[in-house]
């Protein structure tokens, strides 16, 4: 009997992180979900771990105690918008810590332990090339792209892939966070935000599928990155 593949997903209590975790669970994965709020009622294959990733002094030992995953998906995030002249260094530090420093923590802990076929996926943003009023957020998402490309080159000889998936504007609690009023999200070509929930009929996450060619290719990348529809190398199908 084959062992189900295992994923570590951050930000699992809501939004895109929750949708990814539910999709993995539906595909037969075991999921270690990390969030500040406990998640219950998703079945025995979900292990909910409650701690704040912003506090690395506590998060690091908690993460180190977890089983080595086949896939790491860093979906936890926060948003803040502010124009030049009103940028707050403390906000920049929080954004950097959660998006960039936590990506480093996850990769540093798990990449050395992963086997060939391992996956590291960082949830980025289409704004990483620049967006007026969101420079602090954009800067951290752009940094994630640079790190992922560097890690991908380092880990490729071991058969481990690293990718950033950048979904379009998605209807999640993060879009309603205080501080976004000065920079509202732009609607995608289909004229509405993508819902984050998983489609019960198709098993797809609309937030990662979308309605345009750009988003459909994003959904394909997600499937390839976290191997939803195929067995990992070295495992029985």
Q: What pLDDT does 87 receive?
A: 86
Q: What pLDDT does 194 receive?
A: 46
Record the tokens describing residue 66, joined without a space.
């977890």
Indicate the helix (H) or strand (E) that contains 62.
Answer: helix 56-64
Of the CATH numbers 3.30.43.10, 3.40.47.10, 1.10.600.10, 3.40.50.720, which one belongs to the domain with range 6-226? 3.40.50.720
Cβ–Cβ under 8 Å, residues 152 and 161: yes
Q: What pLDDT does 151 receive?
A: 98
Reported as half-sphere exposure (CB side, CA atoms, 13 A), residue 147 has a value of: 23
Reported as half-sphere exposure (CB side, CA atoms, 13 A), residue 208 has a value of: 31
- Partner residues linked to 35 by β-bridges: 50
Number of Cβ within 10 Å of residue 230's Cβ equals 11
Number of Cβ within 10 Å of residue 58's Cβ equals 12
Cβ–Cβ under 8 Å, residues 73 and 20: yes
Cβ–Cβ under 8 Å, residues 6 and 69: yes
Going from the first residue of the chain to its last (237 residues), give the mean pLDDT of each consecutive group of 10, the final group possibly shorter: 90 90 92 95 95 95 97 91 88 94 97 96 80 80 94 97 78 50 50 46 40 35 52 41
Q: What is the mean pLDDT of the chain?
A: 78
Record the tokens describing residue 138, joined without a space.
């954009």
Strands 119-123 and 161-165: parallel
Torsion from C-alpha of 7, 237, 22, 104, nearest 10 degrees? 20
Q: What pLDDT does 185 receive?
A: 52
DSSP calls for 94-151: HHHIIIIIHHHHHHHHHGGGPPTT-EEEEE--GGGG--TT-HHHHHHHHHHHHHHHHH
Q: Which residues contact 201 (CB under 8 A, 6 or more apart)?
A: none
> What is the per-residue pLDDT across 35-77, written as a single tens digit (0 to 9) for each?
999 999 899 999 999 999 999 999 999 999 999 999 999 999 9
End-to-end Cα spacing for the chain = 10
Residue with tokens 């930000």: 11
> What is the per-residue pLDDT across 220-232, written as a single tens digit (0 to 9) for each?
455 556 654 344 4
Q: What pLDDT does 184 receive?
A: 53
């Amino acid at each position: 009997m084959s062992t189900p593949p295992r994923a570590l997903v951050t930000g699992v209590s809501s939004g895109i992180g929750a949708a990814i975790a539910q999709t993995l669970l539906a595909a037969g994965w075991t999921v270690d979900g990390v969030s500040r709020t406990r998640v219950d009622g998703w079945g025995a294959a979900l292990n909910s771990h409650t701690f704040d990733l912003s506090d690395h002094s506590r998060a690091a030992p908690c993460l180190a105690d977890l089983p080595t995953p086949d896939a790491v998906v860093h979906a936890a995030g926060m948003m803040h918008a502010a124009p030049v002249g009103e940028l707050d260094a403390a906000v920049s530090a929080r954004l950097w810590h959660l998006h960039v420093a936590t990506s480093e923590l996850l990769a540093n802990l798990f990449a050395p332990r992963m086997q060939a076929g391992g996956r590291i996926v960082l949830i980025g943003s289409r704004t990483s090339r620049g967006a007026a009023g969101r420079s602090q957020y954009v800067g951290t998402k752009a940094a994630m792209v640079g790190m992922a490309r560097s890690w991908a080159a380092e880990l490729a000889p071991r058969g481990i892939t690293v990718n950033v998936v950048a979904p379009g504007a998605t209807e999640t609690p993060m879009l309603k966070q205080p501080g976004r009023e000065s920079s509202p999200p732009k609607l995608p070509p289909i004229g509405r935000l993508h819902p984050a929930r998983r489609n019960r009929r198709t098993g797809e996450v609309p937030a990662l599928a979308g309605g345009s060619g750009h988003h459909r290719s994003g959904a394909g990348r997600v499937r390839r990155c976290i191997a939803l529809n195929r067995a990992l190398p070295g495992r029985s199908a």
